């Protein structure tokens, strides 16, 4: 029996503006430790919406969400923020690096927030992750001076800084060219194979999905294959 | 750890947009500097105008008012006790202006702990004879040394020497305006006729200039002995005892007490000069109003800049929230940005306010009316700096409050989905 990292039970979600539309219907599935899961589906099928619910950022849904066997549903915002900081890493389509900071500081930010390690240790861990992603030479650069592919890799390093239980990605390769997409995919592959990292990635790139361990396919707010 | 991290983020955001930050801070600096300068200058002026009168006014004046008896004989008669008596054409009795028992009263007053000093005074109504013309005047007989010590008499004697009034027999210090009318130089002799019709020659040993022209056209000073001689009165004759207290605010209480104790009329400075207090208060009020207006305008500047900054930083706020910063953390970051603009802007403003005050303090200000003033007056009270400093923090806090709350309420999902 494998360890369950994330479990969704009967998640329903409706948008009320301008008319009530049910975007997610009765979503139930689990993600085990070390799995590389892609969520596939056409635009508007609700896959991003699902991801934001799973990430605890969207709390307006019915059903139950468990992360690391703990119930997330109904917890106060400050607590959810702490859980996101500690247990979830994010990679978005857009990199969302803070331009005011260097690459290194950007990666360190969630680690400093967590406060589990001293500043020197966080810095050391950030450099380790940058090195693993092959961009340690960029550490002292300003975040806005590096290329798009590099920015996405910095974002991945930032997601990894607190050794999260799960990394969630919303089209992390959506803005990248083929070469950079491949680099990012290889990084994900290596993370799950070498470091046993759990990944849940929303994508509509079929090639990306094919190469992952498991595909969850969605249509009209339902899971049709998993 | 968390606090230092938030401080670090706020600092980076401030410095990344240092031009905007500077503009906001300069707004605060300007308004605080103006606030300080305005208040210091206004209060300096107030103090000067007050001192023009108040420094020379006794805190408590003891005198004998010539007035009709309050207890008319008809009221004392037993047969009219129950009736209401109308008396017309009441005249003052033979009350003398002289203070009875002046010697013991002076001793008792001077022995009081609350009293800084007491100086006797008597006034004589006279005519100055200039050829065929008689000019009315008042000669104040004063104890020159005590008058100088307590009421800065020597500051207002602009030519000649105040102490000569005592050292030179039959001498007088003329008001500057009066001296001009009489064309009397120092060393000249002026003729004086008293109300009793006696004529005296008096030697001019100085000019007196109070700053109030009408006053200087009438008032003159002489030693108490000269004035007594003028009136043909003995050496213990005096009409006023001027008392100066350690604490001005005790004057009303002391006046009431003396009136009862010595059976005498006593007037305190607050009653005598109520209008000065009112004038000062209104001037202060106006300067505070202008200062606060300046600060509010600066506050709106900060509000605008922070609002803009928050729109610019939506992405940063979203990712901070996504990676585990709570709404409170974000709120603190932006409040900190606002408060540091207020703090540093305010600090520099205080320094500039002080510099401006010093500059004003050194601008020459010579006017014939104010012989003791050489530069514009400034009041360097630390209270203004305290008020200015705390106001800068309060306004920037309020200016930062709403933008910061807005930032803390940003929904990261909306921002991230929008991309």
Interchain CB distance below 8 Å, A96 and B325: no
User: CB of A96 within 8 Å of any CB in chain B?
Assistant: yes
Average pLDDT over residues B136-147: 90
User: What element of type H or E holds B205?
Assistant: strand B199-208
At residue B220, the pLDDT reads: 92
Confidence of residue B74 (pLDDT cuts 50, 70, 90): confident
Interchain CB distance below 8 Å, A113 and B15: no
At residue B278, the pLDDT reads: 79
**The tokens of B45 are what?**
């002026």
Interchain CB distance below 8 Å, A100 and B16: yes
For residue range A92-139, list pLDDT tens digits in order.
Answer: 888 788 888 888 888 888 888 888 888 889 899 999 888 888 888 888
For residue range B258-309, list pLDDT tens digits in order.
Answer: 888 888 888 888 887 777 777 778 887 888 888 788 878 878 877 888 888 8
For residue range B310-339, list pLDDT tens digits in order.
Answer: 888 888 888 888 888 888 888 998 899 888
Confidence of residue B1 (pLDDT cuts 50, 70, 90): low
Pairing state between β B265-268 and B60-63: antiparallel
Q: Is pLDDT above 70 for B82?
A: yes
pTM here?
A: 0.71
Q: Mean of the per-residue pLDDT values for chain B?
A: 85
Which residues in chain A touch residue B320, judged by CB atoms under 8 angstroms apart? 109
**The tokens of A32 are what?**
């085990």
Which runs of consecutive H residues, i.e. helices, occur in B155-200?
164-167, 176-182
At residue B371, the pLDDT reads: 65
SS3 B289: helix
User: CB of A115 within 8 Å of any CB in chain B?
Assistant: yes
Q: Is pLDDT above 60 for B147?
A: yes
Q: Can you give the pLDDT of all 226 residues of chain A as single tens digits?
A: 578 888 888 888 888 877 888 888 888 888 888 888 999 888 878 888 888 888 888 888 888 999 888 888 888 888 888 888 888 988 888 878 888 888 888 888 888 888 888 888 989 999 988 888 888 888 888 888 888 888 888 888 898 888 888 999 888 888 788 888 888 888 888 888 888 889 999 888 888 888 888 888 888 888 887 7
Contacts 24+ apart (CB under 8 A), A118-125: A122/A161, A125/A161
SS3 B259: helix
**The tokens of B160 are what?**
């000649």
Interchain CB distance below 8 Å, B2 and A99: no
What's the rounded Cα separation, in Å, for the pair B112 and B258?
11
Q: Where are the domains of chain B?
A: 2-54+276-418, 60-64+95-268
Q: Is pLDDT above 90 for B352?
A: yes
Closest chain B C-alpha to A55 CA, distance in angstroms: 9
**First CA to last CA distance, chain B:** 32
Which residues in chain B touch residue A98, judged by CB atoms under 8 angstroms apart? 12, 316, 319
Average pLDDT over residues B230-255: 87
Sorted by where each starts, the structural domains of chain A and their CATH numbers stand as 4-225 (3.40.50.300)
Interchain CB distance below 8 Å, A110 and B323: yes
User: CB of A106 within 8 Å of any CB in chain B?
Assistant: no
What's the rounded Cα separation, in Å, for the pair B410 and B315?
10
At residue B368, the pLDDT reads: 64
Q: What percent of chain B has pLDDT over 70?
A: 97
**The tokens of B216 are what?**
């200087």
What's the rounded Cα separation, in Å, for the pair B316 and B322?
10
Q: Is pLDDT above 60 for B419?
A: no
For residue range B8-34, list pLDDT tens digits in order.
Answer: 888 888 888 788 888 888 888 988 898
* Cβ within 8 Å of residue A186, ≥6 positions away: none
């Amino acid at each position: 029996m494998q360890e369950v990292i994330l479990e969704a039970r009967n998640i329903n979600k409706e948008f009320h503006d301008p008319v009530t539309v049910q975007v997610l219907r009765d979503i139930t599935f689990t993600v085990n430790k070390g799995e590389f899961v892609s969520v596939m589906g056409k635009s508007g099928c609700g896959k991003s919406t699902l991801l934001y619910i799973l990430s605890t950022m969207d709390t307006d849904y019915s059903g139950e969400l468990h992360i690391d066997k703990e119930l997330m549903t109904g917890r106060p915002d400050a607590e959810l923020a702490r859980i996101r900081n500690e247990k979830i890493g994010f990679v978005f389509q857009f990199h969302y690096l803070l331009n005011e900071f260097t690459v290194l500081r950007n990666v360190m930010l969630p680690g400093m927030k967590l406060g589990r390690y001293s500043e020197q240790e966080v810095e050391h861990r950030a450099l380790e992750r940058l090195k693993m992603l092959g961009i340690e030479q960029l550490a002292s650069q300003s975040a806005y001076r590096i290329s798009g592919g590099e920015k996405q890799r910095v974002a991945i390093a930032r997601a990894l800084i607190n050794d999260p239980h799960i990394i969630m990605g919303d089209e992390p390769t959506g803005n990248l060219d083929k070469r950079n997409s491949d680099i990012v995919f290889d990084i994900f592959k290596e993370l799950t194979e070498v470091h046993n990292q759990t990944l849940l990635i929303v994508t509509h790139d079929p090639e990306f999905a094919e190469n992952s361990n498991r595909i969850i396919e969605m249509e009209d707010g339902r899971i049709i294959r998993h | 750890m968390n606090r230092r991290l938030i401080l670090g983020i706020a600092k980076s955001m401030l410095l990344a947009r240092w031009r905007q930050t500077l503009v906001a801070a300069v707004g605060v600096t300007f308004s605080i500097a103006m606030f300080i300068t305005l208040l210091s200058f206004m209060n300096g002026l107030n103090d000067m105008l007050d001192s023009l009168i108040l420094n020379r006014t006794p805190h408590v004046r003891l005198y004998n008012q010539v007035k009709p008896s309050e207890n008319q004989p008809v009221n004392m008669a037993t047969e009219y006790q129950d009736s209401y008596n109308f008396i017309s054409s009441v005249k003052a009795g033979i009350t003398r202006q002289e203070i009875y028992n002046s010697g013991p009263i002076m001793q008792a007053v001077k022995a009081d702990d609350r009293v800084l000093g007491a100086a006797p005074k008597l006034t004589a109504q006279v005519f100055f004879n200039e050829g065929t013309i008689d000019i009315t005047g008042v000669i104040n007989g004063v104890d020159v040394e005590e008058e100088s010590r307590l009421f800065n008499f020597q500051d207002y004697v602009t030519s000649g020497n105040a102490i000569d009034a005592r050292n030179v027999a039959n001498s007088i210090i003329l008001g500057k305006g009066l001296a001009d009318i009489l064309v009397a130089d120092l060393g000249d002799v002026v003729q004086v006729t008293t109300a009793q019709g006696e004529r005296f020659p008096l030697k001019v040993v100085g000019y007196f200039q109070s700053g109030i022209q009408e006053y200087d056209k009438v008032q003159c000073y002489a030693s108490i002995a000269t004035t007594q001689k003028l009136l043909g009165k003995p050496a213990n004759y005096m009409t006023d005892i001027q008392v100066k207290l350690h604490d001005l605010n005790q004057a009303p209480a002391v006046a009431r007490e003396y009136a009862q104790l010595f059976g005498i009329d006593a007037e305190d400075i607050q009653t005598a000069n109520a209008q000065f207090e009112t004038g000062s208060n209104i001037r202060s009020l106006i300067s505070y109003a202008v200062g606060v207006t300046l600060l509010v305008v600066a506050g709106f500047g900060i509000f605008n800049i922070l609002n803009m900054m928050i729109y610019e930083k939506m992405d940063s706020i979203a990712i901070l929230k996504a990676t585990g910063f709570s709404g409170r953390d974000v709120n603190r970051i932006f409040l900190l940005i606002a408060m540091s603009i207020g703090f540093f802007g305010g600090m520099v403003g205080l320094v500039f306010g002080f510099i401006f005050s010093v500059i004003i303090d050194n601008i020459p200000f010579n006017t014939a009316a104010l012989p003791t003033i050489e530069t514009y007056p400034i009041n360097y009270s630390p209270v203004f700096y305290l008020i200015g400093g705390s106001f800068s923090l309060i306004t920037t806090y309020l200016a930062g409050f709403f933008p910061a709350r807005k930032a803390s309420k940003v929904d990261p999902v909306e921002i991230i989905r929008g991309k």
